Amino acid sequence: MTQQDPHAMHANLLFNPQGKDEVEVRTIIKGSTTGLFNLNAVKYPWAKSLYQVMIGNFWVPEKVSGLKDDARMFHTDLTVEEQRAYKGILSFLIFLDSIQTVNLPHFSDFITSPEVNLILAIQAYQESIHSQSYATILESVVDSHERDEIYYFFRNDPILLERNKYIGQIYQDFIDTPSDANFFRGIVANFLLESLYFYNGFAFFDTLVDHMKMPATGRMIAYIRRDELTHITIFANIIKEIKREFPAIYDEKLILEMMDTAVAQEIEWSTHILGNRIPGINGQTTREYTRWLADQRLGMLGIAPLYKEAITNPYKHLERLQDPNSDKSNFFESTVVNYTQSTSMNGSWEF
């Protein structure tokens, strides 16, 4: 008789009449689900609250105006270095949202909480909207013969290829071998992708806007970033629930190792694609910002800073950027701070 691997994970059955998914026995993973979405009985109130935020963030790229002006600016106002960075960063962002759209259901299949499955489904929808956003930007701003070059930038850029392969392989490892260790590694990779990998690219577009360039692209990125902040919160809470319910699976050493690797990759890629001839951004600010941001993200998990010297954000102009739906809240920083005030223990959200 073949002995089953105690560390293997099994996808949820589509319908399981013998399932036990009452709140008192519900767990974030490894539960026995019926397959029903009983959203009146909720164990994780942070997920129910986050649903309201995500639904309230609904937007579509076709409603963002001004891209025709960006097309003119791209050819007349951007330097050659800024054009290269614009295209290369879009390529990386396209990859990140593409792989999230396709891969999120693989992880959701192993989440045994319907309220968390619900917000993961909304996240997958939002990632597909982001992909359409990039398509809208490319259709409006760059010449048609450049679009495939941007989508497949990795084919001629070995640094980007290695970045894409790294995150892709982590996800593929879990798909091929759904074990406890591969699941947790994949969840941490999701957190790093959402919380770190996008943000030097976002900072580049913000810097262009601060110099009165490409404002419509900047607005599109602002909407995408607003969504990504909720996605960070999803995976931060999943990681914290695993720590609470399955401490044997939780691995803080792995989180720190993967964060350090992600920071090194992000600095290498950003320095490579941004160069040193873009006003407001250079190799030093990239290093300072990436390490500062990494420590902010670790704080969301209740983990001490990894880079204790990185105590300030060098991009002060980011603090002036506002949430498109508010003239009061600081979109970049205070939204993350507010999200981290949520607690999975009592479900309260403080805004």
Domains and their CATH numbers in the chain: 59-340 (1.10.620.20)
pLDDT, residue 321, reads 64
CA distances 162 to 29, 52, 100, 155, Å, are 31, 37, 17, 10
| Mean local confidence (pLDDT), 176-201 | 97
pTM, 2 dp: 0.91
pLDDT, residue 9, reads 96
> pLDDT band for position 276 (50/70/90)?
confident
Q: Say what percent of the chain tops pLDDT 90.
A: 86
> pLDDT band for position 6 (50/70/90)?
confident
pLDDT, residue 190, reads 98
pLDDT, residue 40, reads 94
Q: Which of the two residues, 351 and 236, has the higher pLDDT score?
A: 236
Q: Is the pLDDT of residue 203 over 50?
A: yes
> pLDDT band for position 99 (50/70/90)?
very high
Of how many residues is the chain composed?
A: 351
| Mean local confidence (pLDDT), 235-256 | 98
Structure tokens at 200: 């030097």
Residues paired with residue 322 on neighbouring β-strands, in sequence order: 330
Neighbours of 9 (CB within 10 A): 18
pLDDT, residue 4, reads 60
| Mean local confidence (pLDDT), 13-37 | 95
Q: Which own/partner pairs from 42-45 qualify as long-range (CB within 8 Å, at least 24 positions apart)? A: 42/115, 43/113, 43/115, 44/113, 44/115, 44/116, 44/237, 44/241, 44/344, 44/347, 45/344, 45/346, 45/347, 45/348
Contacts of 24 (CB under 8 A, 6+ apart): none
CA distance 19 to 34: 4
* Per-residue model confidence as pLDDT tens digits over 60-96: 999 999 999 999 999 999 999 999 999 999 999 999 9
* Per-residue model confidence as pLDDT tens digits over 298-340: 999 999 999 989 999 999 888 776 444 443 334 333 333 343 3
* Per-residue model confidence as pLDDT tens digits over 110-160: 999 999 999 999 999 999 999 999 999 999 999 999 999 999 999 999 999
| Mean local confidence (pLDDT), 174-192 | 98
Residues forming the active site: 134
Scan for tokens 């800073």, then name that residue. 305
Average pLDDT of the chain, as a whole number: 90
Q: Say what percent of the chain tops pLDDT 70.
A: 90
